Structure 1
């Protein structure tokens, strides 16, 4: 084709060609914007807005009404795609006659897939924050422009789905805690977050789901002082105890009349220079009783508000169940594991054959955290309680059970209490039998 022919061609069809190119570029804009704006997180935009990035605030307001945003972008994308395809078909019909429809379909499919879908979406997903910030203001203007049309389309869609009994108002969404937990678990699997940090973050998120009965020291394991003992005996008990605070009871262990602090006992002893002159009841602090159903988040806030470190736990009948301390709650967050691969939980011992010997009173959560297991702790708090709950009996010694991917063998039982078990994963159990 000669130069005059080219000039004649572009003078006749140049406007159509430029229009098609502009429409394809607009389609890429809508596709990339949709991908970027659905990939950004509200938390990231909030952090950027706090640093002074005003466009991040625009994005937050856009994704706050995500259905309206997506509806507007889809309307714009389909509008320009249809118009570009129509213009291309018109152009090819003039150039190639009847075969122009087929050629236009092939050409526009390739062009739209490459330049309107794959290219802009790949670019947007690689840098969603930067892409979203750049398109935020144009997208906002477009959403405002076609907002009423988008709302009308959404209304029609909801009505059509309603005919088939489908409603969009009941769509389940992950809670903020579930999103955080999922993100932390994903980062842990990818190696960006170590196990200890994952456990600490998970402990913070779990505070509102756990109750004080899940972390308390049971009454059978509490160290308490009898107020009727001699002062000398009481002082020796306090000095021999690893705890700084001990409950004081009188007549029966259920009748808690106070909580004594070791420092107060030492101070009273120093003032009188006579151990037998110390009156434990007078120096003991008034006990604080809390229900066993109090969740850990509320209990932690109560500890901080009242500036206390311990509380007595009672059931719905007012009977003593145990003792919960501030340290018990903090351990749910920070844990007591010294190394990712070492087991450093009281009552847990790793054997050379790969099995784990566990005391029955070991909390399931501590065992899961130490060994990265997923034993359920909804119905039982301790390992012994889990075995009894799953077996529906009080097992005999040497009796074995298999559930939740583990083999549990009862090693020792005292009266109706399981005091020691051996646990091994099913894979290791099968290997040991072979």
Structure 2
């Protein structure tokens, strides 16, 4: 005990404790600066907090940040271990016992007081601590910069030998936002509808008119050459405010009739026979199916129109796109008294659904909270045909992308309805 209280040993103990404090500082700083919210730091920076500016700069130079902190942490830990070994050698003499005791004591001290304790504190309030340590860490990194740069060059060189690109990142900003929203959805902090709306905003720039249009097979149209009374009945019974009007062939769209114009003419004339449908037609607006949704939205705004006809590269009618269709991609379904809830989708007790073949994959994913791919097909029937490379018959069953598809009915070459549910079966072209 008397040897422990000698001045030289007391100084040595003080130095070791100081080094442990420094090690704890480096450990807590590493955790705080890597866990700090970039969003909150950006907001604090805009409010004029200069410490937040330093934190943001440190986060953006992540390699130098980690390199400097790890270098400093290892230096103080190694020096503390050497001094502890010297202290125990003074107390117990040189030998394996003194070395073993010094190793055990130092391991416990570093683990508890220089690693677990400071990191636990830092992870509980990373933003607050990051602002506190930002300036001293910045100075330390600047001081250690030459050594860190050499270490980085060696590390990057070794990684490149194994084909690792340290600059590559598979995640985009949109992916990070989606991941955060999904996490908060699971924790109950975000409602599913809010999640869908955020997703809609992030993904709308990737969509084309073809992805959100009403397909021709589901399109209501009227023949200009049919009797006026029948035409009016069809328009009023459709439940739509605007309808394409064709002459002779359904591809020959000659105009758009608006219910408001039709009712105004009926009110003015008082008789069906006196209504001249041809004069009520508005000129059709044709847009290519490859037009981006964002571009089409701006076009609707500039032309003050809500309705356009979609054509393919050969000019054949593919469907219609409305302003409502685009807005629904952001805010979700906009239903009125004429709309059916989840039209074409009937949920089943096993968690699956009976789905009409022409239901859009995006709508089904949103309704059922599924993740069916929509890169190669727009409708659920199109997805099955694309994956199976054939036109299935009723009764056939397939498994793709973690979902099971059972064909319920087919008419000509079109899948009319099918049952879809999640499964753990491997992808198979056809199941027995």
**Deviation at residue 45 of structure 1 after TM alignment:** 1.7
Change (3 A) 1:183 1:93: same
Q: How does 1:132-147 map to 2 (within 5 A)?
A: 132-147=130-145
1:414 deviation in Å? 1.8
Deviations 1:280-337 (A, max 9, x none): 5555444333222233344334433443322221222232211111211222233339
User: Could you tell me how far 1:395 is from its partner in structure 2?
Assistant: 2.3
Q: Which residue of 2 aligns with 1:431?
A: none
Verify the 8 A CA contact 1:344 1:370 in the aligned structure 2. Answer: no
Match of 1:330 in 2: 327
Q: Give the alignment of 1:334-373 within 5 angstroms.
A: 334-336=331-333, 344-351=341-348, 356-373=353-370
Whether contact under 8 Å (1:337, 1:370) holds in the other structure is no
1:404, distance to aligned residue in structure 2 (A) = 4.1
Distance 1:185 1:286 in 2: 45
1:208 match: secondary structure: helix
Among candidates 217, 220, 228, match of residue 217 of structure 2: 220
- My pick for the range that moved more, 318-327 or 403-412, is 403-412
Deviation of the 1:217 alpha carbon: 1.0
Would the alpha carbon gap of residues 182 and 279 (structure 1) be closer, same or farther in structure 2, given more than 3 Å must change?
A: same
Among 235, 238, 248, the residue aligned to 1:238: 235
SS at match of 2:205: coil
Give the superposition deviation at 1:398: 3.1
Residue equivalent to 1:378: 375
Partner of 1:56: 52
Shift of 1:104: 2.5
1:80 pairs with one of 76, 83, 86: 76
Per-residue deviation, residues 100-155 of structure 1 (Å, max 9, x unmatched): 43332222211111111111111111211112122112222222222333223212
Alignment-derived partner of residue 19 in structure 2: 23
- Asked if the contact 1:245–1:260 (Cα under 8 Å) also holds between the matched residues in 2, the reply is yes
Asked whether the 8 Å contact 2:324–2:334 carries over to 1, the reply is no
- Counterpart in the other structure of 2:31: 35
Give the whole-Å Cα distance in 2 for the aligned partners of 1:78 and 1:35: 15
Deviations 1:363-383 (A, max 9, x none): 222222222233332222222
Q: Deviations over 1:355-403 (max 9, x none)?
A: 6322211222222222223333222222222232233222223333344
Q: Classify the secondary structure of the residue corresponding to 1:207.
A: helix
Question: Structure 1 residues 413-422 or 293-302, which shifts more?
Answer: 293-302
**Higher mean C-alpha displacement, 280-289 vs 202-211:** 280-289
Report the alpha carbon displacement of residue 51 of structure 1 after superposing the two structures with TM.
4.2
- For residue 201 of structure 2, give the secondary structure of its aligned residue in structure 1: helix
Q: Distance in 1 between matches of 2:279 and 2:105?
A: 93
* Equivalent residue number for residue 66 of structure 2: 70
TM-score normalised over the length of structure 2: 0.86
Please tell me whether the aligned partners of residues 62 and 69 of structure 1 are also in contact (alpha carbons under 8 angstroms). yes
CA distance in 2 between counterparts of 1:136 and 1:346 reads 55
CA distance in 2, matches of 1:249, 1:34: 69
Matches within 5 A, 1:299-318: 299-318=296-315
Equivalent residues of 1:230, 1:276 under 8 A apart: no
Residue 126 of structure 2 aligns with which residue?
Answer: 128
More deviation, 279-288/176-185: 279-288
Classify 1:134/1:251 alpha carbon distance in 2 versus 1 (closer, same or farther; 3 Å): same
For 1:28 and 1:103, how far apart are their aligned partners in 2? 22
Task: Give the structure-1-normalised TM-score.
Answer: 0.85
What is residue 148 of structure 1 aligned with on the other side? 146
Q: Which residue of 1 aligns with 2:317?
A: 320
Taking structure 1 as reference, are residues 426 and 13 closer, same or farther at Cα in structure 2, changes over 3 Å only? closer
For 2:89, the equivalent position in structure 1 comes to 93
**Matched pairs, number:** 419
User: Residue 321 of structure 1 aligns to a residue in which SS?
Assistant: strand
Q: State the shift of 1:177 in Å.
A: 1.1
| Structure 1 residues 191-210: Cα deviation after superposition (integer angstroms, max 9, x where no partner) | 22232222222222222233
Deviation track 1:231-251 (CA, whole Å, cap 9, x = no partner) reads 555444332331112223344
Q: Contact 1:59–1:136 (CA<8 Å) still a contact in 2?
A: yes
Tell me whether 193-202 or 121-130 shows the greater mean CA deviation: 193-202
- How far is 1:346 from its partner? 0.5
Structure 2: distance between partners of 1:236 and 1:158? 74
CA distance in 2, matches of 1:302, 1:97: 87
Distance 1:285 1:16, change over 3 A: farther
Distance in 1 (CA, whole Å) between partners of 2:298 and 2:169 is 30
**Is contact 2:328-2:334 (8 Å) kept?**
no
CA 1:400 to 1:12, structure 2 compared with 1: closer, same or farther past 3 Å?
closer
- Structure-2 residue corresponding to 1:397: 394
Bigger mean CA offset, 26-35 vs 413-422 = 413-422
Which of the numbers 199, 202, 208 marks the counterpart of 1:202? 199
